[in-house]
Amino acid sequence: MIVNKFLKKYQKIVKKNNSLVCIGLDSELTKIPKHLLKESDPIFNFNKAIIDATHDLVCAYKPNIAFYEAEGIKGLQSLKKTVDYLRKKYPAIPIICDAKRADIGNTNIGYVKNIFDYFGFDAVTVNPYLGKEAIEPFLDQKDKGIIILCKTSNPGAGELQDLKFKGKELWQIVAEKVNKKWNFNHNCLLVIGATYPEELKKIRKIIPEMVFLIPGIGAQGGEVERTVEAGKNKQGNGMIINSSRGIIFASNGRDFALAARRETKKLKDLINKYR
């Protein structure tokens, strides 16, 4: 039985919207349609239009904090307004902060306060490299989703993640550690890239029911059919499949929100075909 608030929220929206699609709100200012740049807050207005056009087709939204930090205070204000808008207008949809935080424990307390108390996110991505002791301030958040990097989607991921120790690759050790030792509050998820379907399949065998955040579909080259077949659990879900650029920048014209809706529905339908 799921008691974690984030996972309850996820399960409810998956059922309501019949969707495993997460839209990455990687709203890079230089790629936003030019007609929005005349407005007082182009990033927020871009996000709002994307959200309003797609809210019934998704299971989550995931802003990558780097694109907002890049614009300084104004960018962070746009992010805050985006999260506040989602919480007020579409409170059933989980909001993930893609921040990949990693630091010593007392510093992570500050990150926890910022991400959960100030911004109001439902979940966050974190880096396991410093170990359980360091990320415990995140793991202690019983009602939030703590999404731990395991096998990331980037081409160079294997440089460290594929290193072997006692016959096991590092990503497998991370998966087992999270499953057996770190998930004491039943609030952990794993990041596993769609660009590595064989590894995804192996991790699903290690952890039959945990929810996976799966980036790498679309612009990064991940294949939907192989991803869904490898990553789904017995219920045909257990995945948050993210697409960012392929959806939000489907058009740079005035029809950008409609284009985003079209691409979101296309991805949703394709995923559901293989569930």
Full pLDDT tens readout for the chain, 275 residues: 567 999 999 999 999 999 999 999 999 999 999 999 999 999 999 999 999 999 999 999 999 999 999 999 999 999 999 999 999 999 999 999 999 999 998 899 999 999 999 999 999 999 999 999 999 999 999 999 999 999 998 889 899 988 999 999 999 999 999 999 999 999 999 999 999 999 999 999 999 999 999 998 865 556 899 999 999 999 999 999 999 999 999 999 999 999 999 999 999 999 999 99
Partners of residue 241 on adjacent β-strands: 21, 214
> How far apart, in whole angstroms, are the C-alpha atoms of residue 35 and residue 140?
44
User: Tell me: the pLDDT tens digits for 125-146?
Assistant: 999 999 999 999 999 999 999 9
Catalytic residue among 81, 100, 201, 265: 100
Instruction: Name residue, tokens 């064989």.
Output: 198
Number of compact structural domains in the chain: 1
Q: Is 100 a catalytic residue?
A: yes
| 105-118 burial: b if 16+ Cβ within 10 Å, else e | eeebeebbebbbee
Instruction: Give the whole-angstrom CA distance, residue 78 versus residue 242.
Output: 21
Residue span of the structural domain in which 248 resides: 5-273
As given in the structure block, the two tokens for residue 98 are 């893609």
**Which amino acid belongs to residue 19?**
S
CATH of the domain at 127: 3.20.20.70
Place of tokens 């993210």: 242
Rg, Å, the chain Cα set:
18
Both ends of the chain: CA-CA distance in Å? 22
pTM of the model: 0.96
